[in-house]
A and B are shown apart, each in its own frame.
Chain A
């Protein structure tokens, strides 16, 4: 490595989310950049936590003095109360309704905020911005944290096919978008209908849209989100150092490998490679203009 004045020695981590919907079509960019703050909270506080199984009649109470103890609250039955108080609480966690029968009312700041249908899963981000007081939370439907890895996560858009034109020059026809994404599973286990699903992107995470036919799940969009240095957060204006959030349409071209080793976290590696026109939007940057 040659040292020049452009060489930066700081590390840059990335976190990945999977989404059922095309977030840039359903949410404002100002909302989506809050995932930068959510990823920092998850990566530093909730990575590797064991899911909490919520049984009938129990309560989920989350506030600044009682921050979430797990990335995933998996409701096996109808809890007696779900109440989240966002004041001074910076967090991000997932609630899954695995009850099959009940609609679960989720209260945020003493008000009923969301009704979670059976099989549905939401990501709740509280205090989504660095300084803005409002909104004090976001709910992302069908979005799950996929994983954070130290070394191998990569996104590359490189040159694809070239064609020789009559002048003898070559023109570029396509670009190859490649993603390599090893994820250590945060959601290490839970069961639906008596079956155990150990995979981070198994059909257990699908909501109600099996028609998309993607891999084994309907989580079609991948979001690669930068993790800012400790205690640095992005505000509603979306200004932060680094790269934008990249949303990648995973339709076609995905392969997944999974590894299980005794006494090691389960690991899923998502690989995506697609050759498409260089002006097609496979990897879409998301940023607040």
Chain B
């Protein structure tokens, strides 16, 4: 690796924003900041169904967007933790957008350096263990049209 003035060696901290058009508090772009990523997020987009064309060629007709990430939710106190988890539970089986943006990005100014997962279904998993940090693990996935699951450097989250 060449060291140049542009090399940044510090780790980045990411905020997670969730937008959901059908749930009131999440329905104003860019949605709600649900917490910060704890460690790394896994984001994967893989080919979905294929269709055999008349020519004999197999064409991909969908893609599977999947992400698994763990947030240290807004757990400053017990009420905040509960509300954070309960609120995320309200999104189950509803179509959401999830954006990963550098921590501190203010609402409405996503600019560059973000990753947005569109039209996914979320499921929050509660994980409480003695002597461990309380965490909410979120899985997000959706089979969607080719080329629509992930957007890099989106300008907004709706």
A interface with B by C-beta (< 8 Å)? 1-8, 11-14, 149-159, 168-172, 224, 226, 238-246, 278-279, 283, 285, 287-289
**Among candidates B86, B127, B142, residue contacting A169 with C-beta atoms closer than 8 Å:** B142
Contact with A along B124-150 (1 / 0, CB 8 A): 011111111110000101110000000
Q: Is the CB of A152 within 8 A of B130?
A: yes
Which residues of A have CB within 8 Å of B82? Answer: 243-244, 285, 287
The yes or no answer to B17 lying at the interface (CB within 8 A) is no
Q: Is the CB of A4 within 8 A of B126?
A: no
A7-B130 contact given A2-B11, A157-B125, A239-B77, CB 8 Å threshold? no
Q: Is the CB of B40 within 8 A of A12?
A: no
**Among candidates B13, B49, B126, residue contacting A155 with C-beta atoms closer than 8 Å:** B126
Which residues of A have CB within 8 Å of B100? Answer: none
B79-101 contacts to A (CB < 8 Å): 79, 81-82, 85-86, 89, 92-93
**Among candidates A7, A155, A168, A171, residue contacting B121 with C-beta atoms closer than 8 Å:** A171
Number of A-B contacts (CB under 8 A): 122
Q: Is the CB of B78 within 8 A of A240?
A: yes
Q: Is the CB of B92 within 8 A of A1?
A: no
**Among candidates B48, B93, B125, B132, residue contacting A171 with C-beta atoms closer than 8 Å:** B93
Complex interface: stretch among B22-30, B31-39, B109-117: B31-39
Q: Which residue of chain B has its CB nearest to the CB of A181?
A: B130
Q: Is the CB of A4 within 8 A of B39?
A: yes
Query: B133 → chain A, closest Cβ, in Å?
Result: 5
CA A241 – CA B72 in complex, angstroms?
13
Q: Is the CB of B133 within 8 A of A153?
A: no
CA A90 – CA B141 in complex, angstroms?
50
Per DSSP, chain B at the interface is: mixed
Q: Which residue of chain B has its CB nearest to the CB of A226?
A: B78
**Among candidates A11, A158, A159, residue contacting B131 with C-beta atoms closer than 8 Å:** A11
Which residues of B have CB within 8 Å of A14? Answer: 128, 130
Per DSSP, chain A at the interface is: loop
Query: B73 → chain A, closest Cβ, in Å?
Result: 10
Which residues of B have CB within 8 Å of A158? Answer: 125
A sample of 5 inter-chain contacts (CB < 8 A) reads A2-B39, A156-B125, A168-B49, A168-B62, A239-B78
Query: A263 → chain B, closest Cβ, in Å?
Result: 24
Which residues of B have CB within 8 Å of A3? Answer: 11
Q: Is the CB of B81 within 8 A of A159?
A: no
Q: Is the CB of A242 within 8 A of B142?
A: no
**Among candidates A152, A159, A241, residue contacting B78 with C-beta atoms closer than 8 Å:** A241
Query: A164 → chain B, closest Cβ, in Å?
Result: 10
Q: Is the CB of B39 within 8 A of A283?
A: no
A172-B121 contact given A1-B39, A6-B37, A6-B38, CB 8 Å threshold? yes
Contact with A along B57-70 (1 / 0, CB 8 A): 00000100000000
Q: Which residue of chain A has its CB nearest to the CB of B11?
A: A4
CA A5 – CA B48 in complex, angstroms?
36
A172-B126 contact given A7-B38, A285-B86, CB 8 Å threshold? no
Query: B75 → chain A, closest Cβ, in Å?
Result: 7
Query: A272 → chain B, closest Cβ, in Å?
Result: 14
Q: Is the CB of B79 within 8 A of A5?
A: no
Query: B120 → chain A, closest Cβ, in Å?
Result: 10
A243-B128 contact given A7-B133, A8-B72, CB 8 Å threshold? yes
CA A113 – CA B123 in complex, angstroms?
48
Q: Is the CB of B127 within 8 A of A156?
A: yes
Q: Which residue of chain B has its CB nearest to the CB of A246?
A: B128
**Among candidates A152, A155, A242, residue contacting B81 with C-beta atoms closer than 8 Å:** A242
Query: B130 → chain A, closest Cβ, in Å?
Result: 4
Query: B124 → chain A, closest Cβ, in Å?
Result: 8
**Among candidates B62, B72, B129, B139, residue contacting A159 with C-beta atoms closer than 8 Å:** B139
Q: Is the CB of A5 within 8 A of B13?
A: yes
